Structure 1
Amino acid sequence: MTTTIRAGLLACAAGVLTASAAGAETITIATVNNGDMIRMQKLTDDFTAKNPGIELEWVTLEENVLRQRVTQDIATNGGQFDVMTIGTYEVPIWAGQDWLVPLNDMPEGYDADDILPAIAGGLTTDGTLYAAPFYGESSMVMYRKDLMEAAGMEMPEAPTWDEIRAAAEAMTDEDAGIYGICLRGKAGWGENMAFLTAMSNSYGARWFDEEWNAQFDSPEWEATLTDYLELMNNYGPPGASSNGFNENLALFQQGKCGMWIDATVAASFVTNPADSTVADQVGFALAPDKGLGKRGNWLWAWNLAIPAGSEKVDAAKAFVAWATSKEYTALVAENEGWANVPPGTRTSLYENQDYLDAAPFAQMTLESINAADPQNPTVDPVPYVGVQFVAIPEFQGIGTAVGQQFSAALAGQITAQQALENAQKLTTREMERSGY
């Protein structure tokens, strides 16, 4: 669903542009329908007050649709958008194609050096910043403390997958409509494959060996997919093959999930009493491991970038600077409370005692982000960079196709073995076509 929101012009203030209201410049912003982005749209009166020569037009899309739209537009130099919400995956690839406007000359006071090194590293090519992070994330376990206590169990700070399975079994109560674990099942390279790739890393699996040979016929991938399907089939909610981030967020907020392993950014939404029926019962733990030295956590940021095809670069840059600044963080804190500010982007946030006091998940988030290593994401060596994705242009198509196979297995349409065989064949075929 597409929602278009126009932010009206407010009183004149010192802004980047000096155009009159009659000659106002409209920039079009493509963004994802996540909670933090929706919150940003509600606060844009602050931007238009400071930039009276700029109007904003929003195109808000579901995650998979957003990726399709912005990829098509930027690859064809369509010029439909002036600001795009893109992920850590796209930034280095698109920067290498000269598709993005460099952001090294942000307005005075922006303080790019304050961006967390782990996040900035994924957005920088040859020393040049090509996207500004709106929020950064890893992944972690969110769980119901009351259900764990009722089961006579205690969640370790650093659980194993076996401990997660035991907790899921203990907390499942289908008669009460409570499922021990909720995980992504919706097909997509950034939906179910984000979770499953990160999980597979902890199992010792790889997408490719060092010669770019697909590895879905390995015992490690078989163990990953088998355990995932057993978790979801035995202790997960019905219809899980249709559930992505937003669907599982809603289930957890409604008290229907004992555990949810997903983005650290969700922490503020599950602990907000205005949205979550279990806000006071949520605990946090690191993503699980299998004892092989890698946890099943990812590294991601949703970022604002300016496509090279935009004819309104100055206005777009003014907006990007506003939306990813320390001042914007303070604006959210003033309106929504410190616990709800966009996490995972700036060092200064994790040195702010007001935030640390308000956000019980802050240190776990920072530890998870810092623990992810996109340069060495797997147990065995690989020729690619990326934790829950492979940073090559072909991955978007291959990852989604593999995600469709695994989602079909979750829906019971094919077996796990069939899904893995299909994934091996289609990945090998596409990589050979691409010349690897």
Structure 2
Amino acid sequence: MRIKRTAWLTACSMAALGFSASLASAEDITIATVNNADMIVMQKLSPEWEKATGNKINWVVLEENVLRQRVTTDIATGSGQFDIMTIGGYETPIWGKAGWLTALDDLGSDYDYADLIAPVKAGLTVDGKLFAVPFYAESSFTMYRKDIFEAAGIKMPEAPTYDQIAEYAAKVTDKSKGVYGLCLRGKPGWGENMAYLGTLVNTYGGEWFNMEWKPQISSQPWKDAIGWYVKAMADYGPPGITSNGFNENQALFATGHCAMWIDATSAAGRLYDPKQSQVADKIAFTKAPVKVTPNGSSWAWSWNLAVPKSTKKADTAKSFVKWATSKDYIKLVGEKEGWVALPPGTRQSTYDNPNYQKAAPFAATVIKAIESADPTKPTLNPVPYTGIQFVAIPEFQAIGTLVGQAVSSAVAGQQSVDAALDGAQGQVEAMMEQAGYPK
């Protein structure tokens, strides 16, 4: 009886969202997404939508760097390989302005656009049109093992400094037991190591470009920030730094190998979930560290579902993105996967939900971090760009990845920090000149 009732309730929810179960118009659509845990849940639950609509999904689930390459090539060439793309808060306004994305303002009044978190929605809007809908959003903060800190006699402050982070890492690192004081991203890529390192440079008072669009990568704040990072990883980090991105560090932390991890707030849902984390009852969190300025010390990011203009199945694609980012989908995740597993940062109703408040002690901290991150003031000095862990210009993908590779070479000991950043400075200067900056 319970199974029948669940199926009926699911069908009713689908009907309320405006879906038709008619097989006569059924279509196959292809979705490209990243292999992060929230998207794996979306893939797992998607048969609910398929059953209600008669449509079928072909999934292309890729590692983050590969996903970006594939969807960027597809959107720029208009080849139409994908009907739905998972893209970030960086790509959405650029591609929307270029006319490459389908506006998503017509999903219906029952979608409740007013429930979307305002700064997240604003970041996906160009000239008053919404060009993607948020699947989850995040800022960044510091996660740590409270049991390890208590044993070492350390009390984590509400707003730690980077000097304190290094001090604590030195006290809690025990490589003989496979416990590393600090885990940080090292896999090269503008959305991998440079996502974190962008915030590190920001809080050290550095910037990507000055007001004349001259690259600042060889400046002293950059060298101080990257110098701190390279030393910290050598002294307190796990092996294989240059292969560790978000997913790899999350696995290290969840299996007890990291005393501290500075990364995305979206990780908290998995780390507090005893089904996915061996340390679920042993972790705590605090703000992202600061050095010279709090500006840009924690990032602002969203993963979103977008419908490219090149699709020939826009209506079916819109049907899915509406379902996967709706309040009913979020409720479905809570019922099927546990309330701690809700996709964070997209809807106010998530944070008003008492089930989520009870299951997710980090919820209030996360939403405050998301709402307080200011992409218009990403660092100490005025800059000509917006974006905290990225620069909102089309050229940044190539620039950020180039610099990420340079930093990776320094972490691997292939060259000094100064040599890596000086070399990157020259290359980025040439790239900006070729692109016609200042414009």
Secondary structure in structure 1 of the residue aligned to 2:86: strand
Tell me the alpha carbon deviations over residues 244-271 of structure 1, each in whole angstroms, 9 at most, x when there is no partner.
0011011101100000100000001111
Determine the C-alpha separation between the residues in 1 that align with 2:408 and 2:191.
13
Contact 1:189 1:399 in 2 (8 A): yes
Contact conserved, 1:287 with 1:295, CA < 8 A, in 2? no
Q: Equivalents in 1 of 2:232, 2:119: separation in Å?
A: 31
C-alpha distance in 2, partners of 1:356/1:83? Answer: 31
The question of 1:44 aligning with 2:68 is answered no
Corresponding residue for 1:365?
A: 366
Q: Distance in 2 between matches of 1:267 and 1:420?
A: 33
What TM-score do you get using the length of structure 2 for normalisation?
0.94
Aligned pairs (5 A) from 1:91-110: 91-110=92-111
| Deviation digits for residues 197-244 of structure 1 (CA, Å, limit 9, x no counterpart) | 011111110000001000012111111101111111110011111100
What is the alpha-carbon distance in structure 2 between the residues aligned to residue 324 and residue 409 of structure 1? Answer: 40
Whole-angstrom distance in 2 between the partners of 1:17 and 1:399: 44
Give a deviation string over 1:296-348, Cα, whole Å, max 9, x none: 21000000000000000000000000000010000000011111000011112
Q: What SS class does the counterpart of residue 141 from structure 1 fall into? A: strand
1:49 is displaced (CA, Å) by 2.7
* TM-score when normalising by structure 1: 0.95
Equivalent residue for 1:429?
A: 430
Shift of 1:411: 0.7
Q: Which runs of 5+ in 1 are unaligned?
A: 1-9
Please, what is the CA RMSD of the aligned residues? Answer: 1.4
- What is residue 318 of structure 1 aligned with on the other side? 319
Secondary structure of the corresponding residue to residue 280 of structure 1: coil
**1:19 Cα deviation after fit:** 4.7
34, 37, 40: which is aligned to 2:36? 34
Deviation string, structure 1 residues 182-202 (Cα, Å, up to 9, x no partner): 000000000000000011111
Aligned residue type for 1:169 = A
Deviates more, 1:346-355 or 1:406-415: 346-355
Contact 1:289 1:295 in 2 (8 A): no
8 Å CA contact retained: 2:296, 2:379? no
Instruction: Give the residue type in structure 1 aligned to 2:23.
Output: S
Using the alignment, how far apart are the partners of 2:234 and 2:324 within structure 1? 41
Q: Is the alpha carbon distance of 1:11 and 1:281 closer, same or farther for their aligned partners in structure 2, counting shifts above 3 Å?
A: closer
C-alpha deviation, 1:293, in angstroms? 3.4
- Alignment match, 2:251: 250
Write the distance in 2 (CA, Å) between the matches of 1:293 and 1:77: 41
Q: Where does structure 1 differ by over 4 angstroms across 4 or more consecutive aligned residues?
A: 10-15
Distance in 2 (alpha carbons) for counterparts of 1:383 and 1:294: 15
Query: Residues 198-237 of structure 1: matches in 2 within 5 Å?
Result: 198-237=199-238
Question: Unpaired runs of 5+ in structure 2?
Answer: 1-9
Q: Is the 8 A contact 1:139 1:262 kept in 2?
A: yes
Deviation at 1:371, TM superposition (A): 1.9
Report the CA distance between 1:133 and its aligned residue: 0.3
SS at match of 2:182: strand
Matched-pair contact (CA < 8 Å) for 1:287–1:296: yes
> Is the 1:405–1:419 contact (alpha carbons within 8 Å) kept by the matching residues of 2?
yes
| SS in structure 2 of the partner of residue 423 of structure 1 | helix
Q: Matched residue of 2:190: which SS?
A: coil
- Alignment map for 1:257-296 (pairs within 5 Å): 257-294=258-295, 296=297
| 1:416 match | 417
